[in-house]
Amino acid sequence: MNTTTLASITRLNPVSRTLPVLLAMEDDAEDVGRLSPDDRMTCHVHGRWIHQCVASPMHVNPITRHRWCRSCAIALTVSVDELSGIVTMSCPGCGHGESAASDRLIVACQASLAAARAQAAARVA
């Protein structure tokens, strides 16, 4: 796929940023070092919006502390409120377990939730 053409099409028409399009764009941006994996709104492992698969055990990482409580050594529970667009993570053991990595993941999830909702709204209109 020609990325230059893809980029110019999506710039002209933001509504055409469907999940597969955005997924490909984020893959390309990540490959050339323009996008940090932490800031992605899509997941290249699951091929979904990040908020749709963040609850998967694959998104837990004890080393980087994504979705991980170091004190309790257990994964954080994710709650995605599709209505309010609010994403929270907390440790089922101590109720806390925050980390900078998880905070970034939450920001990415909320961005993907907003993007998915904009997509849905565009389809209806």
- Residues forming contacts to Zn ion in the complex (CB under 5 A) are 43, 45-46, 53, 69, 71-72, 91, 93-94, 97
CA distances (Å), origin 102, targets 49, 67, 86, 96, 123: 17, 5, 14, 11, 31
- Report how far residue 29's alpha carbon sits from residue 17's, in angstroms, rounded to the nearest whole number: 15
**Minimum Å distance from CB 49 to Zn ion?**
9
Nearest CB to Zn ion, comparing residues 29 and 122: 29
Nearest CB to Zn ion, comparing residues 69 and 113: 69
Is 32 in a helix, a strand, or coil? coil
Nearest CB to Zn ion, comparing residues 21 and 122: 21
**Minimum Å distance from CB 19 to Zn ion?**
12
- Report how far residue 14's alpha carbon sits from residue 116's, in angstroms, rounded to the nearest whole number: 12
Burial code of 26-47, b = ≥16 C-beta within 10 A, e = fewer? beebeeeeebeeeebbbbeeee
**Minimum Å distance from CB 70 to Zn ion?**
8
**Minimum Å distance from CB 109 to Zn ion?**
11
Nearest CB to Zn ion, comparing residues 72 and 122: 72
